[in-house]
Amino acid sequence: MNRVSFYEYQLRSVASLNARAATPLRRGALLRLECSDGGVGFADCHPWAEFGDADISVQLQSLKKKSKIEPLIQQSLRLAEVDASLRAEGKSAFNPHEQVRNHLLIRDLAQWELTQLAKVESQGFKALKIKVGREPLQEAVLINKITELSSMRIRLDFNSSIDLTVFKKFVASLSFRSCELIEFVEDPFKFDFSDWTEAQKLLPIAADFEFEHMNLKPGSNQLLPFDVLVAKPARQNIKDSLEFCQTHNLRLVVTSSMDHPVGVAHALRAASEVLIQAPSVVLDSGCLTFDQYELSDFTSQVQVLGPSLVRIQGTGIGFDVALNSLDWQPLLNFSENEV
């Protein structure tokens, strides 16, 4: 019999997360899966109500009732299984010689000091990802300043907060150099085949949350109006995402779900796996979001060097001491093929 227990958390974000996140307080739960062979694995379940996820209590209840299990918590269980098998072998998920390079995330461009650019570049970062959409035209001015001072690639994420008209005005405000350095614009607005096709004529486009709403015909190899797929191991089977990119000639960016460090660790593990498998398809990742919340029991276990993780103390995805000291609540017992 397998056993699942949980630890519900409420975290205060250190900064505003994106153009759509209303509150810096975020709720989720860590899961502890005890397999019938005695192996134990951990994962995070961090819903984003802003993007259509059911609340954490609904996620947990759906698992407990074993009916209509929410896809997010189902994916968390799969990740916990991966962690359990790594821990059973006494292995760390992270190889210091095969590290994934990540972009630097700028959550609040207006508050970001441009004087940091030289330091960031010298640390080895090759790409900046900027959350935009609050004041697009003012943001374009700041982006032009950044590209005057640096040659790092720029990734922009609107979190579907504008429309095609604003997007066109935004692009018209960018310098030629900015347009050259912009690697992609992620989720500019709600997916609409013809509007995204228009946008793609101006700049490379990436699909993140909007990908989940596209209703693409399975197996079809139609030309898609985007160039990059942003996939989150917390939400998708990352190997399926890689296969989709290979079929449609897209590039893949693996990111964290801006979740608990346990979720971030899983994202880094999965990113490393696909990078080894297909280095020409996988671009720099976006998983270094350990500083999203103040959780020193966890973040003190993480060693980062510039754009890459060096290691996380412990076995599997790490954090052994911090995880074992939590007050786990029983949720569910089930046999192998039940959930």
- AA letter at 44: D
Q: Shortest distance, CB of residue 174 to Mg ion, whole angstroms?
A: 20
Q: Shortest distance, CB of residue 160 to Mg ion, whole angstroms?
A: 9
Active-site residue flag, 119: no
Q: Shortest distance, CB of residue 159 to Mg ion, whole angstroms?
A: 6
Contact criterion met (CB below 8 Å) for 83 and 317: yes
Decide whether 86 or 205 has the Cβ nearer to Mg ion. Answer: 205
List, in order, residues 6 or more apart from 338 with CB less than 8 Å away: 66
Q: Shortest distance, CB of residue 210 to Mg ion, whole angstroms?
A: 9
One of 68, 91, 232, 239 is an active-site residue; which one?
232
Q: Does 53 bind Mg ion (CB under 5 A)?
A: no
Residue 279: how many other CB atoms lie within 10 Å = 9
List, in order, residues 6 or more apart from 150 with CB less than 8 Å away: 117, 118, 120, 121, 128
Contact criterion met (CB below 8 Å) for 230 and 255: yes
Residue with the shortest CB distance to Mg ion: 208
Q: Does 259 bind Mg ion (CB under 5 A)?
A: no
Decide whether 156 or 275 has the Cβ nearer to Mg ion. Answer: 156
Exactly one of 208, 210, 259, 273 binds Mg ion (CB under 5 A); that residue is: 208
The span from the CA of 155 to the CA of 195, in Å, is: 20
Q: Shortest distance, CB of residue 96 to Mg ion, whole angstroms?
A: 28
One of 119, 131, 145, 169 is an active-site residue; which one?
131
**# residues contacting Mg ion (CB under 5 A):** 3
Per-residue binding string, Mg ion, 100-139, x by CB under 5 A, is: ----------------------------------------
Q: In what order do the strands lie in the sheet with 228-231?
A: 104-106, 127-131, 153-157, 182-186, 205-207, 228-231, 251-254
Contact criterion met (CB below 8 Å) for 30 and 7: yes
Place of tokens 């990802």: 129
Under DSSP, is residue 32 helix (H, G, I), strand (E, B) or coil? strand
Decide whether 7 or 48 has the Cβ nearer to Mg ion. Answer: 48
Structure tokens at 308: 């890459």
Interface positions, 148-167, toward Mg ion (CB under 5 A): 157
Active-site residue flag, 66: no
Per-residue binding string, Mg ion, 183-202, x by CB under 5 A, is: ---x----------------
List contacts with Mg ion (CB under 5 A): 157, 186, 208
Catalytic residue positions, numbered:
131, 232
